[in-house]
Each structure stands twice: as C-alpha cells, then as structure tokens.
Structure 1
C-alpha cells in the first residue's frame, strides 16, 4: 500500500493546564510499574476488575517506542496520577489513551483529563505532520460502563461512533481434537509455513497481509496498512508467536488453491498467576469466499491450539454492528461477551498547530 512520506515531526507538545503544584514529564521504561498500577485502578473502577498484564505496558514503552508518544502528570508529591499516549496506528489514524487516577476528586480529575486530551490533540497533529498530512483522525475509547471517561471524551470534542464486544470462550481438554470447522473439500486450514530457522515463509506472510487488507475493506474505519507496518506492529506485541498465524485456502476441485482467509493470534499472559489465554487479533475472510466455513475452520484451529497448550480461554473483539454478522458465529462456537467497549473519534488539522 502506498502512503505519504514521513517528514521530520515537531517536538513532543508540552502538557499544560494542570492543577497548581502538578508537573509533567515524558514516560520511560522505569515507569512501567506505576503505569501498570494506574491502568489496573482504571480498569477496576470501570469494570469491577483489573485485566491488563504488565507486559502490555512494557511493550508500549519499549518495543512500541517508535510509534508512541507518552506524557505523565504528577501531583504535588510527584506521584504519577495520569498517563496520556498517542500512537501512530496507520496513515490518518492516531490512537489516543488518557488514563486519570480514579482516586482523584472530580474537580481535579476533570482538569487533568482536559489537559491530557488537549495534549493528545497536539500530539496527533505532530504525528500527522510527520506523515505529511493536513488532517488526521484521533481514535480513543471507553468502557461502556465508564460514564466518567465518556464525559471527558464528549467535553474534548469526541463523538461515539462504534460499540465493540469483547468476547471470551473457555477451553476444555476435548477442544484439542475438534471436529473440522471448514468443508475439507472446499477449504483447508493450515499454519503459516516456517523454515528450519523458525522464521515464517515470506510468501505466506504476504498472503496473510493481502487477505486481511482485502477482507477488511468493508469493515468500519478500515485504513490501509503497509505490510511492513502490520508485521512490525504485531511483532511488538509481547504475546506474538509465529506459530499463531494461520491461513485458510480454497481447494475447490478443478481450481488452484489460493488463500481466502487468515487468522493471527497471540498469547495473553495470565494476570496474578492465572493461566494464559489466546487472543485472536485478526480474523479475515475474503468476501468472495464467505459462507464456506473458512472463519469457523480458522477459529477451530486457534481453539484447538489453545487447548493443546493448556490455555484457559480464547478471546477476541468484534464489532457489535459487523456487516458479516460475525458475533453470531462466535456465539455458536461458545463465545460470550465479557466486556463492552466504545470507540470515540474526532478529526484534528495540522494547521491548528501553534
């Protein structure tokens, strides 16, 4: 996929408008323990339980440093009470996260959140400037049960645009030997091939990229992503494993086999000693091949793999308004909704930079 050339971006914006006595500074790897604790408090306040693993925080501070900008807000005692980040997710799309300590009183939290979202707007403009763009979408989110975060997003000029179902399926030992999920005479599911050195076959990786790009063109908020960007971003996930990539191939009689579906998963480390799980990051099937059982076969392969490894669950995210009706397939395979989240968007223009 073509993209605008990257240009030198302006320096990171300052975080201004904090309460008297507060300070701001960039984040680095040494902040991971404090930020993981802040994330856990945020999740517990919004959903009743902390869920994120420490490795996810480590990853965005280290492996994701090339595409992420971070700023921290510290109170009078120099304790971290808020964290804002902006990720260059794809051309014309910046992912923003603003976390404010739920222990703060409403007036203080409101002021800190407003300052953090202002910083995020400026950071997004800097990212867009680095890509040679004049405007970019800023994409943030909230749990459906988090009225406070939604109030801040609305005040910052965001609009809710989508709802997502976070679905989970427990595994049992019998899942390790499932019945075929695809029609074997029409679709074959296999792992991405790997060489003796453990590295994946380049042609198979390119096939995964092509299938995912073509599969998602009719999905909400699709943005083209270059092959190198996709692979680099997925490899930065601490749970990435090359043996968690699968292809579905059409094997119709009289026709050469061709890739028609792909699934990319990762390891979800268990929190506080809980068993690991498998997270399905991508599942796509070409529109021309839908209805043949490719998606069911790919999911069956991921579930069987998770069970064989002794993992306790398989999880994924699905658009509540998916044009493919994917949530019905997932429910038929035993998935249930655990958490509901929302996407909130706004557009910012580079020419608004000071």
Structure 2
C-alpha cells in the first residue's frame, strides 16, 4: 500500500520518468562567479556564508559550525558530483548548492535540494541558475537510483521567505506539506504523566542507539514523507544531539519480541537537540524535541506524553525557558492536536515544495 500522498509509479520506471539531462550545465559565466564542487575544507567558509544569509533573511534557525561541516560529510555523499560552490574573484564563497539522495529511501526516492546566495549577489540571476543546476542534478540522481518507485525533488522553505517561495513556484515546484514549529513555556507546570504499566523510561545511551533507530523506522512507517534510516544516515545528522535530554521507553518483558529472546525492547523514544545558535534569534532558550516516536503496539497508552514530560523536566533542570518541536500539520497520529492540548503554541512554519515524479 502506498503511503499517504505518494505518487504511484508511472510507466517506464523512475529512470525514464525523471527525464534527467545527460549533462547539467553550470551557471553561466556572465554571473561573474567561478563554479566548482564544494570540499570538506570549505566548511568554515560555508558556515560564514550561511550566517550572513540567515541574518539577512531573519531566519529563526541558525547553522552551527558543526552543522555546516555535517552538510559536507557522509559516506553516501559525492561532493564532486552533487555540490556546487560559487566563488568571487577574491576566492570568497558567495553561493552554494547541495543535492542529496539518502541510501535508505525505499517507498519514495527523494532528492533534497539546498542552496543559498550571499545577499549582495542576489537579484543578478544567480538564484534561477543555481536552481536549474540543482533540479538537473536531482533528476540525474533519481534516474541513477535503480529503484522503480515514486521520486521527489524536495526543498524546505521558511513560510515567510516570499522571494524563495516565488522562485520555486516559478520553476514548477508546488507546496505539498506544511510543518509547524511549536513551543511550550517551561514556567508552566511540567506535565504530570505516568509511565504506562509494564514500561520504564530510561536515559538514552549509546548501547540503545541502534535499537532506537530500528524502532524509529517502525514508528514512522505510516508517516508521510519519511523513509527508513540506515546506520550511516542516522548518525549523519547529529551535530546538535543532546544525549542528556533524550530518553528511551523500554518493555522489560520483551513484548512481541520475547520469543526471540530480545528483552527488553524499545517501545518508544524521544531524542532532543540543543541549538544554542538559534536562541538569540528566537529570543529565548529551549530544548528541542527532535524525534518522538512510539511503536504501533504501544500506542494509545500515554507513552508519548510520558516521554515529553521526561524531556521537559530535563530541559527545565538545565534552565531552558521553553520546550520546542516541529510537527507535520497533517500528521496521521494527530500529534498537532496533542501538542496543542499539552500547552504548545505555534511559533512559525515551514513549507515543503516539491516536484513529484
């Protein structure tokens, strides 16, 4: 059964549907930037560029030096083929593009596009040229995936960035999903939540991490736009991970896995991020609930609320002012309504623009 909202494969396979160009042309020379692939050594320059872009755009999300380096690392990434750096006559990075297809995609192969331009270089035609390169390279990567499933060219855009939204719309991308950033004041009483009978909530630990990954893959199997995480991709986006704010719910009995001798098993989990670089722009400090999941067999017992309560206690103990998270506005589990009931309020939103293939 196809996940909600997925496009059924059409005739000819993804390789044919992607309509990939044989060659992806670089942005033209008259734009006055020299183009080459990004390399890991560009991480500090990329961090500087992202800081200027995010400041100019009044973004509420800021990229740390570690996160900038993370964009350029990962065994599944081919920087030479899938990235672009636009440098000026002085060698300074003024524009960048990254296209990423993650190896675990099974139901829909997604090519994520990410790019940006220094504010002083906007309005010269760099944006459309960079987007054409990203789309062309994304189509090539979808065609080369070897998978006959739906494909997607995807880009996330802050809902307030009207110029970016117009750029993607003009290129044929459509808004297909909305995500809401929410927060809850920790000055309010922390949730009084009891861990469901027979389960226990423990701090995250390294030895539980792969079991949490597998539980995540199961818990999000029915969520739109999610794909299985491989061990490499699971660890490839953890620059802001906060272990002391993360928790795992265990079933000591082994649950359905008891016959296999695998006791205890992961029933649910909450993984947090600490993004101090965001706090000045936000105007407050917060613990960020990065991932919250409950395996289907354990749903309907209040486990998610118990995990949120554990995280809130940890955030408040470290002096945070808010608990924060992001939720798919059309989440099939009704998470948006749950968070509102628990005292979370909307802060801002993000839109996923895509070309469905």
- Give the TM-score band, short-chain normalised: 0.7 to 0.9
Indicate which of 2, 11, 17 corresponds to 2:28: 17
Number of the residue aligned with 1:182: 194
Q: How does 1:1-354 map to 2 (within 5 A)?
A: 15-17=26-28, 19-47=30-58, 51-62=62-73, 66=77, 69-75=82-88, 78-89=91-102, 90-91=104-105, 92-104=109-121, 106=123, 108=124, 111-128=125-142, 131-133=145-147, 136-172=151-187, 178=190, 180-185=192-197, 187-192=199-204, 194=205, 200-201=206-207, 204-226=208-230, 228-234=231-237, 237-249=238-250, 258-271=265-278, 277-347=286-356
Q: Which runs of 5+ in 2 are unaligned?
A: 1-21, 259-263
Q: 8 Å contact 2:60–2:278 — kept in the other structure?
A: no
CA 1:251 to 1:312, structure 2 compared with 1: closer, same or farther past 3 Å?
same
Q: 8 Å contact 2:196–2:301 — kept in the other structure?
A: no
Question: So what's the TM-score if we normalise by structure 1?
Answer: 0.76
- What is the rounded CA distance, in whole Å, between the counterparts of 1:242 and 1:167 in structure 2? 21
Give the secondary structure class of the aligned counterpart of 1:85. Answer: strand
- What is the rounded CA distance, in whole Å, between the counterparts of 2:133 and 2:192 in structure 1? 50
Aligned-residue offset at 1:58: 2.5
- What is the rounded CA distance, in whole Å, between the counterparts of 1:344 and 1:275 in structure 2? 29
Aligned-residue offset at 1:119: 1.7
Aligned-residue offset at 1:295: 0.8
Number of the residue aligned with 2:17: none
Give the secondary structure class of the aligned counterpart of 1:219. Answer: coil
**What is the aligned-residue RMSD (CA, Å)?**
3.5
More strand by share: 1
Give the secondary structure class of the aligned counterpart of 1:281. Answer: strand
Aligned-residue offset at 1:303: 1.6
CA 1:308 to 1:13, structure 2 compared with 1: closer, same or farther past 3 Å?
farther
CA 1:62 to 1:14, structure 2 compared with 1: closer, same or farther past 3 Å?
farther
Number of the residue aligned with 2:4: none
Q: Choose 272-281 or 147-156, whichever is displaced more.
A: 272-281
CA 1:326 to 1:75, structure 2 compared with 1: closer, same or farther past 3 Å?
same
Give the secondary structure class of the aligned counterpart of 1:61. Answer: coil
Give the secondary structure class of the aligned counterpart of 1:221. Answer: coil
Q: Choose 304-313 or 141-150, whichever is displaced more.
A: 304-313
Q: Which runs of 5+ in 1 are unaligned?
A: 1-10, 195-199, 349-354
- What is the rounded CA distance, in whole Å, between the counterparts of 1:88 and 1:290 in structure 2? 31
Give the secondary structure class of the aligned counterpart of 1:207. Answer: helix
